Amino acid sequence: MSVIVNHPKTAIRGALLTFKKDPFFHPMAECFWYESDAIIVMENGKISVVGKADDILPTLGDISVKHYRDSLMMPGFIDSHVHYPQTQIIGAYGEQLIDWLNNYTFIAEQNFKDRAHADEVAEVFLREQRRNGVTASTIFCTVFPESVDAIFAEAEKYNMRIMAGKVCMDRYAPEALLDTPQKAYDESKALIEKWHKRGRAEYVITPRFAPTSTHEQLEMIGTLASEFPDTLIQSHVSENIKEIEWVKELFPKAKDYTDVYDQYGLLRDRAIYGHGVHLTEREFHILNERGSAVAHCPTSNFFLGSGAFNVHQAKSAHRPIKVGLATDLGAGTSFSILQTMNEAYKAAQLNGAPYSSLHTFYLATKGTAEALSLEDKIGALEVGMEADLVVLNLKSTPIIEYRMRYAQSLEETLFIQMTLGDDRAIAATYIAGKMVYEG
């Protein structure tokens, strides 16, 4: 079944920012389009007109135009790695990755066998995303197919572009959360047949991470991936030092962590791996060769003491990796992509390799769309693109309003927003041409 939602024409007016090219590789002047007074017309879920207000106003006839002042219209934010079942454990104190998984995550995820519980969390989770201007995301569910049905069904109500999958794991987790190689294959396949490409939904084949899958399970997941070459794949890689040592013990024949996934055919275009904080040169090379992406999760990496991913290193021109920005909730501490950008800047500072606010806004929009190979659909404001937008209020708090009086450039304006802004900066969120949140 395909879901087509027709909305009437909607037109909005204000300042506009969108990206055309990757500023990590091209001169900044070629990379973005900023227009101080623009109009965007949305029709049938897509952008039908976008340009200077003066040019478009005379052509609009009797369409009413919503005017956003002191604001910035942008492509909706994309979260490339997030765990919706962890909504109830955000900010859980204690230890690093493995203990945190055992003490909180694996307990919370057991509740998702109950569809009513999954429905409730899916509703809260997507509501928070809308409140934060997140219009598309790549989501980990739990081992229970019910949890996958819940998030896809809730997203369908908003015609939201989401990608999600059932977590597969058959060892090193509580009995109640384990499947088997065959069950992982069968349940994932049934979910692909039910949800993949239904409306704006896409399925993501989701082995949790190498340690929680046996050789047999990874093999069956690899088979499934080869049978469905146009699904996405997601997992975790090289997040935490102890985790990497554990992977070495469990897979002694693998060259490194990334090689485990490669051996099972799980590196390809549209495969996205969370974290990659401690990747080696060899791993960067193979990710580049296979066309796979890394999801940069700075709030999570700081919260769990994992380290600071280096975007400049990942995007080295001789073997560039696609990089998406991500919250990785609930190890990540905020639904806000602005706050995620804030922490991304600090990660870059710790690496001695900072990048500008324009680079960061590129990462959160078009860059993440490219990491997911969705750049022909979302992540930019152009005619024909899906009409997923966020409108930022540039004066959302008293201190931001005060600080903005001294902003002298677009770059400084954006830097203020990503450093001081959060959900309060979201003036409106549009999904498929329809306003779904107003701040």
Least distance in angstroms from the C-beta of 434 to ligand GUN: 32
d(CA 192, CA 131): 29
> According to the binding rule CB under 6 A, does residue 327 interact with ligand GUN?
no
Structure tokens at 47: 């952008």
Residue 328 in the binding site for Zn ion (CB under 5 A): yes
- Yes or no: say if 287 and 321 are a contact pair by the CB < 8 Å rule: yes
Judged on CB neighbours under 10 Å (0-12, 13-18, 19+), 3 is exposed
Choices 8-16, 175-183, 277-285, 322-330 (CB under 5 A): range interacting with Zn ion? 322-330
Number of residues that bind ligand GUN (CB under 6 A): 11
Q: What is the DSSP string of 280-301?
A: -HHHHHHHHHHT-EEEE-HHHH
168 binds ligand GUN (CB under 6 A): no
Residue nearest to ligand GUN (CB): 331
Q: Which of 45, 222, 274, 433 binds Zn ion (CB under 5 A)?
A: 274
Classified as helix, coil or strand, 11 is strand
- The separation between CA 289 and the C-alpha centre of its own chain, rounded to angstroms, equals 22
Choose which of 328, 370, 386, 422 interacts with ligand GUN (CB under 6 A): 328
User: By CB under 5 A, how many residues form the interface with Zn ion?
Assistant: 2
**Does residue 170 interact with ligand GUN by CB under 6 A?**
no
Q: What is the DSSP string of 358-419?
A: HHHHHIIIIIHHHHTT-TTTSSS--TTSB--EEEEETT-SHHHHHHHTT--SHHHHHHHHHH
Note whether 262 binds ligand GUN by CB under 6 A.
no
* Contacts for 242 with CB less than 8 Å, ≥ 6 apart: 96, 97, 98
Report if residue 81 touches ligand GUN, rule: CB under 6 A: no
| Binding of residue 211 to Zn ion (CB under 5 A) | no
From residue 230 to residue 249, the character string flagging contacts with ligand GUN as x (rule: CB under 6 A) and all else as - is ------x--x----------
Cβ at position 143, least distance to Zn ion in Å: 15
Q: Which one of ligand GUN, Zn ion, none interacts with residue 378, CB within 5 to 8 A by kind? A: none
What are the distances in angstroms from CA 1 to CA 5, 190, 437? 13, 15, 27
Stretch that binds Zn ion, among 177-185, 215-223, 243-251, 324-332 (CB under 5 A): 324-332
Residues 100-129 that bind ligand GUN (CB under 6 A): 101, 105
Interacting residues with ligand GUN between 287 and 306 (CB under 6 A): 300
Structure tokens at 37: 């007074």
- Answer yes or no whether residue 83 interacts with ligand GUN by CB under 6 A: yes
- Calpha distance 271→373 (Å, rounded): 10
If binding is defined by CB under 6 A, does position 334 make contact with ligand GUN? no
Among the residue ranges 97-105, 170-178, 193-201, 350-358, the one whose residues contact ligand GUN (CB under 6 A)? 97-105
* Nearest one of 168, 174, 202 to 186, comparing CA atoms: 168
422 binds Zn ion (CB under 5 A): no
- Tell me if residue 225 falls in helix, strand or coil: helix
The DSSP call for residue 130 is: H
Least spacing, CB of residue 412 vs ligand GUN, in Å? 33
Place of tokens 């009409």: 387
Q: Which residue is nearest to Zn ion (CB)?
A: 274
When asked if residue 166 is in the footprint of ligand GUN (CB under 6 A), the reply is no
The single residue among 161, 200, 208, 270 that binds ligand GUN, judged by CB under 6 A, is 208
Residue 340 in the binding site for ligand GUN (CB under 6 A): no
Cα torsion 129, 320, 26, 298: sign: positive
Tokens of 403: 């600080």
Residues that bind ligand GUN (CB under 6 A): 83, 97, 101, 105, 208-209, 236, 239, 300, 328, 331
Residues that bind Zn ion (CB under 5 A): 274, 328
